[in-house]
């Protein structure tokens, strides 16, 4: 989860930093690129929060993370290859949706697994995001618009690893106890 948070910060920073260059190249408004991503960040948790809760509750967080990373990968690969406003706005929106779903899912997982002791893990989660955000401008300076390709390769690799791990190992050990708060003789609460 911490690496995904780092990548989320890196992606957010790359989107903000490279939006100027993309806007100049494609002749679109930089503010609308950033707003498209922001719209995705805002709407996804609002409309999909129940699905996120059910995904975590059923022990499918790895599968959900892999799916979000694949969606994000496709959008990130299209950004440096797109010149039209509709395509770019859609890609930035999809990146925003994927980032919001990853963030919300990870926060729910960390909170459910650690319960009352979630403060420090969530602090580390936010710190990983901050480090990614700090690294983003230097990534764009070093790689230019190819930074999107580099992010896509890393996200796809993580998605493939998660999907492979889920396929080979199945659900994580003790996932019901961790997510649902089961005890040896206790019953699970109701799903969200």
In contact, 74 and 177? CB cutoff 8 Å: no
pLDDT of res. 188: 45
How do residues 83-117 score in pLDDT, each as one tens digit? 899 999 999 999 999 999 888 888 887 777 777 88
Q: Among 80, 111, 109, 108, which Cα is nearest to 95's?
A: 80
Q: What percent of the chain has pLDDT over 70?
A: 87
Q: What is the dihedral of CA 61, 160, 91, 59, to 10 degrees?
A: -10
Q: What pLDDT, on the 0 to 100 scale, is given for residue 79?
A: 94
**Span 71-90, pLDDT tens digits:** 999 999 999 999 899 999 99
Which residues of the chain carry a pLDDT beneath 50?
182-190
pTM: 0.82
């Amino acid at each position: 989860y911490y690496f995904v948070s780092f990548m989320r910060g890196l992606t957010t920073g790359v989107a903000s930093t490279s939006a100027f260059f993309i806007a100049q190249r494609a002749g679109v408004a930089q503010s609308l690129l950033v707003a498209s991503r922001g719209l995705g960040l805002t709407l996804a948790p609002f409309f999909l929060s129940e699905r996120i809760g059910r995904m975590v509750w059923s022990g499918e967080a790895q599968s959900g993370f892999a799916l979000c990373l694949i969606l994000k990968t496709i959008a990130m690969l299209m950004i440096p290859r797109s010149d039209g406003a509709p395509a770019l706005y859609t890609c930035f929106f999809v990146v925003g949706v994927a980032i919001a779903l990853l963030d919300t899912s990870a926060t729910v997982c960390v909170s459910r697994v650690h319960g009352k002791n979630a403060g420090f893990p969530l602090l580390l989660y936010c710190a990983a995001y901050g480090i990614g955000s700090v690294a983003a401008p230097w990534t764009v300076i070093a790689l230019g618009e190819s930074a999107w390709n580099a992010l896509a390769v890393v996200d796809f690799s993580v998605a493939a690893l998660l999907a492979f791990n889920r396929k080979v190992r199945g659900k994580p050990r003790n996932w019901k106890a961790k997510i649902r708060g089961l005890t040896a003789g206790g019953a699970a609460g109701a799903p969200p």
